Amino acid sequence: MDSPCSACSWRRCRLPGITDSISRYADSDNIACALPGRNQGIPRVIARLRNTHYEDSYRLAGVTTLVRVADLLINQIMIEIEQPRVRSIMTPGKGKAEVFAIRIPPDARSIGVRIKEITRNRKFPGECVFMGIYKEKTDEFLIPRGEHIISV
């Protein structure tokens, strides 16, 4: 089996067109892999953070994006418990935003309602937007606008 650093993707980053380095091993291995990745001129170095005590070390090693495993697991568990119809898709902006997929049940009050009516409701969070609607039955993906009516 390869050692963590020989398997790190920074080794492949010497190829033209590669702009990211990703490491996924133990904290000490990830930090060791980040150093050559940054020294190779890779602009984005992404690593999985297991122990938060190492966060400063990752930053000193040139890691630009840390994925906090514990935070991901806790968030997913909380969503599964509190909102089983909601799936977290991604967390862009260094955790400042979150993209969710929400399955709308056939008996939801939002069925037959225009998006602009839903978003104008005082209970609808102002920082939320409808990014897309995927219809499984027809394998359709729609970019909704205010006049779009929610349907099953």
- CA–CA separation, 67 and 55 (whole Å): 10
The answer to whether 98 touches 88, Cβ cutoff 8 Å, is yes
| E-state strands within 71-135 | 86-90, 99-102, 133-135
pLDDT tens, per residue, the chain with 152 residues: 444 444 454 444 444 444 444 555 678 888 887 787 777 777 888 888 888 888 899 888 888 888 887 776 776 676 666 565 666 667 777 777 777 777 888 888 889 999 999 989 888 888 888 888 888 888 888 888 889 888 87
At 54, which amino acid appears?
Y
Q: What's the predicted TM-score (pTM) here?
A: 0.43
Domains of the chain: 4-70 (3.40.50.720), 104-142 (no CATH)
